[in-house]
Structure 1
């Protein structure tokens, strides 16, 4: 496990992990957005790889994938982009969020070579069932990467225990069934699920899928170790996209993005 992930695990709760799509609205702007997120308090970054058949993603992230694919973004190019982020001052862990078909096309060995070259810390493959991930998990361990596991409110007690015991980096707990996207309510029994996940896991337990406000995060602050926020951030990037791409408007748009984050990111000490 890389030092950045170890440092992440030791940080004070609540941990904050935002998601953005590589190449949306452009590769260069993706770097600027990553830096803005770090400055706003992000403890790690999930970097989504655009894919034409994103099974777990709702409309907001699907549109981001479409924009990124129109910019010719690929898994390999996204991994190279992480080096640009590091060169711009990004020090937090970067977790590559990709569907397995893209990983298979690139080749696992090539992926690990690029991950080492470009200072990538983790991998999340949402369409790979836990039972089929053992070999990939072992390979990640061999290459000093964390393979992030997911659990859902429907996960059985025994399976949750097995996932929790073998989790690397952090355990990603899905708040609701279905695809990503902002929500006003979450799965029934969510509090018990999070309590069970924390009891089963040896790594921090983070909740994601649907969180779109600081108030929602406060709702879960005693039940988990942190939060993963994607769609509401990607939606703001979509809104600001035209100005982010204009040289004369870019600085102002990035400031608007930072102001948006200031109201969203969970406070380390709630007042």
Structure 2
């Protein structure tokens, strides 16, 4: 079964360019504004949208994304409402691949089978669950693949050649390479080291490799896109959103535009890598 993610990467390969992947937290700063921001992403140049599932204990996330999750939770966001947000997005956009990213606990509480049914019918294409190692594949990964969803795995600078085959075994859609060791938003990605890492992963898989963590500027996005099949930006977009809020942390008239304008410049950076290669 071909997902929207598979179809997108096949198209981008023909076009000779990398994907621009955005990450935003569902419900940040409130459910309605969050939907408007996410709806603005495809027009701003996003090829794939990762949507964070707010969780109380996000251990792999840096302060910016933790704060975004907290704003969303305080605004009443739940996993059920996250799936409703996806349904609303899909009313106007049947093409853009959507990936839910987060932790296993909320899915476990929701019920795996029910979650997979609801995620699929809402219009989700893939999952990135950061705290489920390959040893736990029967919990969610294998059922997700059977349900027709891509299960996207993280590889890191510490994932050696011995570990990599286990990480890749049931991965589909793309491989998400974490360019730095540590939490999101912590440091800048080194494009040369990333290039070597992507080449190493590609010796083990035919899947596209997207690179995230540490990409904050159009220049950085371009440098990464020259080496990878996609560049993922999250913290910088979340920071742009936070910077647009009022003193009480509420959305303003600038919120949607603030995120969209940064996304446009980042997308141009990613597409600049294609022009440099031509």
For normalisation by structure 1, the TM-score amounts to 0.91
Q: 1:133 aligns with which of 134, 137, 145?
A: 137
Q: 1:165 to 1:199 in 2, by over 3 A?
A: farther
Q: How does 1:90-109 map to 2 (within 5 A)?
A: 91-109=95-113
Q: Which moved more, 1:59-68 or 1:183-192?
A: 183-192
| Matches of 2:73 and 2:131, distance apart in 1 | 20
Q: Which residue of 2 aligns with 1:65?
A: 69
Question: How far did residue 124 of structure 1 move?
Answer: 0.9
* Pair 1:259 & 2:261 matched: yes
- Shift in CA distance, 9/187, structure 1 to aligned 2, threshold 3 Å: closer
Cross-structure match for 2:163: 159
Structure 2 stretches lacking a partner, 5+ long: none
Q: Distance in 2 between matches of 1:187 and 1:148?
A: 22
Please state how far the C-alpha of 1:185 moved relative to its aligned partner.
4.6
Partner of 1:120: 124
3-state SS of the aligned residue for 1:10? helix
- Given that 1:40 and 1:261 are in contact with CA atoms closer than 8 Å, whether structure 2 keeps it comes out as yes
Deviation at 1:102, TM superposition (A): 1.0
Q: Residues 208 and 107 of structure 1: is their aligned pair in 2 closer, same or farther, counting only changes over 3 Å?
A: same
Contact persistence 2:52–2:101 (CA under 8 A): yes
Q: Indicate conservation of the 8 Å contact 2:141/2:170, yes or no.
A: no
Structure 1: which 5+ runs fail to align? Answer: none
Return the alpha-carbon distance in structure 2 between the equivalents of residues 55 and 21 of structure 1: 15
Is the CA contact (8 Å cut-off) linking 1:177 and 1:187 kept in structure 2? no
The aligned residue for residue 270 of structure 1 is: 275
Relative to structure 1, the CA distance from residue 162 to residue 147 in structure 2 (aligned partners, 3 Å threshold; closer, same or farther) is same
SS of alignment partner, residue 23 of structure 1? coil
Give RMSD over aligned pairs: 2.2
Distance 1:164 1:16 in 2: 22
Once the two structures are TM-superposed, the CA of residue 5 in structure 1 deviates from its matched residue by: 1.9
Q: CA 1:33–1:55 in 2, change beyond 3 Å: closer, same or farther?
A: same
Q: 111-120 vs 176-185, which deviates more?
A: 176-185
Name the counterpart of 1:39: 43
Secondary structure of 2:140's partner? helix
Deviations 1:112-168 (CA, angstroms, capped at 9, x unpaired) = 121122111111110111222245222112111011111011111022134335320
